[in-house]
Chains A and B, each alone.
Chain A
Amino acid sequence: MDTIALIAVAVFLFTYALIIDERIHRAVAAMMGAAVVVFIGIITWEGLLEHIDFGTIFLLLGMMIIVNTARGSGLFEYIAIRTAKLAKGSPIRVMILFAIVTAIVSAFLDNVTTVLLLTPMLLYVARVMNLNPIPFLVTEIFASNVGGAATLIGDPPNIMIASSAGLTFNEFLIHLGPIMVVNMVLLIGLMYLIYGRSMRVSPDERQELVRTLNGLDERAAIVDRSLFNKSVAVIAFVVLLFFIHDRIGEILHTVLPFVDPTMGLEPAEVALIGAAILLFWSRQSPEEIFEKIEWPALFFFGGLFVIVGALVETGIISSIATVMVENVGTTGEAMFIVTWFAAIASAIVDNIPLTAAMIPLIHDLGATMDVYPLWWSLALGACLGGNGTAIGASANVVVIGIAEREGIGITFIDFLKVGMLVLFLTVAVGFGILWLKFAM
């Protein structure tokens, strides 16, 4: 290995260590790593533009604008109160309904915002019921990661994979959607088995909860009715566009003959179109909305792409791919390795940097084998692997962080025990289904 390659590996490992430890902001660590590889010429300006996946960054940006605009209407608080009321005072129902709602919302909007806005409501319900909130919170984390894995836009690893591999929204729904439905059923069953007994309440307590929750007015949560309606309409429109983004030209051509029927929209374009429509229609101040964009997250992604790009430029990724190809006989074996490596490594590293590193490796494997199934293996492993540890995915950190701030301790080990069980169960089920589909 030459000196340049050694430096690229060192920068990669050092930056990833900083990201795991987080003593330095992850965005700063990634930008600093990127600065080093650019400064010493491993990545040129042209290479920088090539390695940064603008599809991922613009998709995240568009969705952040939509979510931050919609947030101001009280949409999420409305959903949280409605869900709590639907449970009719039953703790088990609270757990199941919040798990389902979290999974669905996470599938279409970002996981961090979803759990950030639903967790305070869950804590409130647990406090009113005088129950231990940990079962609710842990279930919410798992549901967010499972739900997010179901769609192209649900979880950052899926966004990165789709953008790099050119996969469509519907392909994600077809290949990962059913797996995640099965996994949600399994997850709810497992959580019921583990925590069900601790969630029993007396009829009086149940009545008390119903009375308290009925006292909450979900309409009061809607701070801007007009923005609320517009947000719901635009989110529905964007989701619809995602369903048809790859054949939008074909559909538009039937009513607008000048549109090229072969035209398709990239997912990032769909998100930015939705963002533009919502900003235009709602007349919200763009300054205020743009201020709320999570710029550090976008720079974090940008930095990661450059650092991994340095490994590609120096031939490290292709060397690993060569070793892998020499030792892997079949697609099924490759799927097994990618799925389980991604799952276990995601639990340790955080699934975003892990996916950033794995994507070029799978591209390189494409020279000698059909990598289409491997994209699904990577998405499955990276998204569900996040369930393994308290730092495996952003949703975990957010929920556990909120819990700690509210005086509820979920220790690393306690989470690990349940998280690893969920990881192995859900990844095994997902891998089994993918294996039957692609390797049989």
Chain B
Amino acid sequence: MGYSSALIQRKFKDIVGRRYESVLKEYGEFLLADEEMLVPEVRSILIPLDLFAHDITDEAIDILSAYDATISLAYITDAGVVELIEQTLDRASMEEFQAKKEEYGQRLLERTVAKLEEHGFSTQTRMFVGHKGDDVVQMAKNHDMVALSRRYANGESTDLSISPTVLRICQRVETPALIY
């Protein structure tokens, strides 16, 4: 360090004292750090949908549009419910339930695909009977990000807290997760 540089630092210390550290701390609350400025490479995003998570908010679409990624929409009919109907009623009732679910899922996927394509996203869809938590965790391994509605798999609850299934998925996935 040259004389002038050392002189400036001495004067800086005497004039500013510890105030600069507190200013940096205050700015740190809302300015992005260098590593946060780097947009991670996200090529595929998984979004699970169901009866309760039937819409992707505009705010979520805004955030997702920062990435040039393909969106995979997955509609999962809960295997546990299907099994329960078969055990408590009969196979025909189960098949009727499953058909209705598939019909609803198909409509939901088509509607969501149309909305996303309006915003310039390329999309893929999947519909199957499975476990809403485990299967999403499994599928997330093949995606760069997972975006979850806070109401996904939340039953009929109207409260705005995050669904327990979503929390469990977030704890288990290794990819970044966005909750909308």
Contact = CB atoms under 8 A, between A and B. Distances in A.
A116 B23 contact: yes
B24 A397 contact: no
A405 B11 CA distance: 13
Interface in B24-67: 24, 26-27, 29-32, 34, 37, 66
B12 interface: yes
A51 interface: no
B156 interface: no
A189 interface: no
B87 interface: no
A187 B8 CA distance: 24
A217 interface: yes
B9 interface: yes
Interface residues of A, number: 41
B8 A77 contact: no
Interface size class of chain B, counting residues whose CB lies under 8 Å from the partner chain: 20 to 34
Nearest to A211: B66
Given A117-B23, A120-B24, A128-B37, A22 B16 contact: no
Nearest to A22: B10
B34 A127 contact: yes
Given A391-B8, A397-B12, A217 B30 contact: yes
A120 B31 CA distance: 10
A390 B31 contact: no
Contacts of A120: 23-24, 27, 31
Interface in B1-22: 4-5, 7-17, 19-20
Q: Is the interface of B mostly helix, strand, loop or mixed?
A: helix
Contacts of B17: 294, 296
A25 B14 contact: yes
A334 interface: no
A400 B23 contact: no
Contact of A390 (B4, B10, B19, B30): B4
Interface in A199-229: 211-212, 215-217, 220-221, 223
A26 B14 contact: yes
B26 A398 contact: no
Given A77-B26, A401-B16, A22 B11 contact: yes
A430 interface: no
B27 A401 contact: no
Contacts of A128: 37
Nearest to A80: B27
Contacts of B37: 127-128, 212
Contacts of B27: 77, 120-121, 124
Interface in A252-311: 292, 294, 296-297
Contact of A296 (B8, B9, B14): B14
B5 to A, nearest CB: 6
Interface in B99-145: none
12 contacts: A26-B11, A77-B27, A221-B30, A294-B17, A296-B14, A397-B15, A401-B8, A401-B12, A401-B13, A412-B4, A412-B5, A412-B8
Across the A-B interface, give the 7 residue pairs with the lowest CB-CB distance, nearest first.
A401-B12, A412-B4, A22-B10, A397-B11, A120-B27, A220-B30, A22-B11
Given A220-B30, A397-B11, A404-B5, 17 more contacts: A22-B11, A22-B14, A77-B26, A116-B23, A120-B24, A120-B31, A121-B27, A128-B37, A212-B37, A216-B31, A217-B30, A390-B4, A397-B15, A401-B9, A402-B12, A411-B4, A411-B5
